[in-house]
Amino acid sequence: MDVKYSPMENPSDYQPDPGYNAMFQRRSSDRVFLSADLLSIICEFVHADILAIYDKLHSQRRRLKSLMLLSKAFFDVIANYLWREIYSLAPLVGLLPGINVVNGVYFLSRKLPGPGSLGRWDVYARRVRIIQITASNTLKPADNIWDSDSDSDDCLYNFVSPQVFAALSRLQERCDNRLLPSLGKLIYKDKITADNMALLEAISSPSLLEVEFSGRNTDSLPGLLKAALRNILQSSPNITKLVFWHMIQDDTDMPWSDIAQLDQLRSLEMHLHYSPANFDSYKHFRQKGEAESKFMLLLYTRRHLKLLVTVTAAKLVKLVGECSDALQWLTLAEPRSVTKLVLEITGSDSRQLDRSSEWQKLAEYLANGLVSLDELRIKSCLQLDIRPIHKIATTLPSLAVLKFDAPGDKAIFTDSVNRGEDFFLTLLMKQGNGKPLRVLRLPNSWCTGLGLAVLQHVSVHATQMKTLQVAVDSSLGCPEVVDHLASLEDQPAPALSTLVINELRTTPFCPEEYRRIPMLLAKLFPNLKTLTVQTQPGDELIKGAWSTIRELMEDYKCLRYLESGTKDQQCGQPADSC
């Protein structure tokens, strides 16, 4: 049979896509790196080698310095790498006009010229992006980028006279704080004294975006560290990240108002001495909470963390500390718009009675003071009474996620099994007072009298709950499914998709339970996708039994779908392991 081609089907009429042709019509020179890009790649490779092997620092810098002198193209690229991060101001001080060294001390022999007339300082200072100061007036030979010609690091240190910093500070005022026009990050880990206050004034710049004061602050004179911070803040209004360590007791006021005026601030981390004056610091930032991404306050007593506060733009507050400290901060800060709260309660077992009273007061505040709370997580390794959780859950109208993970007093509910079951039921029925709970997590040891029968309450009273973790003892009996089917006829299918069971059982399963338990779970929670069972440590027999029950539950679900004529995507797939 003859094959006839239409005009569009004739191979001779085929025209390739113009873009396809263009891809193969490029010249070889189009794919050549620019000199600056190629040099940048080389410098990145050498720079990574320097960071990996510190012993090569001096020799590799000398090698880059020799390459820098080959041409202007080499000079600009390599100089940017050599000078983008320095570890003191001394390398730049050595480039000042009129600088002399006598007995290892840098000093000025004449007055500095005006801005823009500093010679080599102007050439290299604009390339500095990061300054890390660990010893403000010392210079190791390996850090002297320009004038180091020796391969040995055994030379005497060179010290910078305070006279030089004072001269730079005066010059800084004349050039609008632009001695270091490209400086973006300052890390200061040295002590603050009257002599090096001028140093900080000399390196402040409007281009600064990140500032960190840490290290030997305990050696600083009282008040000087805060004064130094205030000077930096006033001359660097574009700071986006601030980290400040001041863990010594100091009666001078923190410059909170200056910090609050930083419109670009996105991350604030304050490590301070434990003092009532620092508790209400968040009030300065409460109005700009939407713009601020992270606020951290860490209070210390004798270098031990006493209270940690974290506030994010997502309206999440995290408090780590004792109940009394958490309550004091919440009372002073009044973060009423917070929607997520994480509490990690710490303390000593010797204060059990005091902590019980403090926990009651904290729970009372949570129930009445945080009306917008959507998620509450409470965690502690200390014993906490679980009963105040009932008022929190039933009072807060927007609460949808409740996680309580702390050892409880089992004696509270041991006098009557029904009391523990009633408590669990009232938490589930919280939906009558506002938004229903979507996530509920209860500790392992809050009640010892709950069996699998309590899961029936979830299918009836918490149909919108998606995640549940609860401790049960399956040896207390499993109800027959037929006893519960009648109450489910007119109810929507429960939305529970994740179930975590903390198994308290210690006795082996009987054969009948291998039928009842998987059938109960399959009938109560048809949308269940993840079943996790946490058994007692070392109890492999119970763990193996639950593995079999989980497989049988999936088989029952498949049979149900086959009988109803529907298809489940999860049918036939194993559930998540214990």
pLDDT 10s digits, 117-168: 888 898 899 999 999 887 655 555 445 555 544 443 333 456 888 899 999 9
Q: Answer with the residue of higher pLDDT: 292 or 75.
A: 75
H runs (alpha helix) in 345-398: 352-369, 388-395
- Specify the domain boundaries for CATH 3.80.10 within the chain: 314-449
Q: Give the residue, 45 or 557, on which the prediction is more confident.
A: 557
pLDDT bracket for residue 418 (50, 70, 90): low
Lowest-pLDDT range of 125-129, 226-230, 348-352: 348-352
Question: What pLDDT shows up at residue 154?
Answer: 36
Q: Give the confidence band of 375 by pLDDT, cuts at 50, 70, 90.
A: very high
Report in angstroms the alpha-carbon separations of 494 from 108, 440, 456, 526, 578.
Answer: 81, 15, 11, 7, 22
Confidence class for position 219, pLDDT limits 50, 70, 90: low
Residue pair 281/254 in contact (Cβ under 8 Å)? The answer is: yes
Best CA proximity match to 274, nearest among 310, 242, 250: 250
- Long-range contacts formed by 274-280: CB under 8 A, 24+ apart: 274/299, 274/300, 274/301, 274/306, 274/307, 275/249, 275/299, 276/328, 277/253, 278/254, 279/328, 279/329, 279/332, 279/333, 280/332, 280/333
What is the CA 398 to chain-centroid distance, rounded? 25
How many of the other CB atoms lie within 10 Å of CB of 408? 21
* Residues 469-515: tens digit of each pLDDT: 998 888 888 877 655 555 555 667 888 999 999 888 888 999 999 99
**Residue 1's pLDDT is what?**
46
Can you name the residues that pair with 106 across neighbouring β-strands?
Answer: 101, 160
CA distances from 35 to 30, 124, 472 (A): 13, 21, 70
The stretch 426-455 carries a mean pLDDT of 76
CB distance 395 to 363 below 8 Å:
no
pLDDT above 80 (res 566):
no
- Measured between alpha carbons, how far is 463 from 452 in angstroms, rounded to an integer? 17
Q: Residue 378 above 70 pLDDT?
A: yes
CA 168, 200, 212, 315 torsion-angle sign: negative
Q: Is residue 272 predicted with pLDDT exceeding 80? A: yes
Lowest mean pLDDT among 19-23, 347-351, 448-452: 19-23
Rounded mean pLDDT of the chain?
Answer: 78
For residues 144 and 154, give the distance between their C-alpha atoms in angstroms, rounded to a whole number.
Answer: 13
Q: Contact 312/336 with Cβ under 8 angstroms?
A: no
What's the pLDDT at 565? 58
Q: Which fold has domain 314-449?
A: 3.80.10
Average pLDDT over residues 366-392: 87
β-strand partners of 193 = none
Q: What is the pLDDT of residue 353?
A: 59
Q: Is pLDDT above 90 for 183? A: yes
pLDDT of residue 575: 47
Asked whether the beta carbons of 125 and 180 are under 8 A apart, the reply is: yes
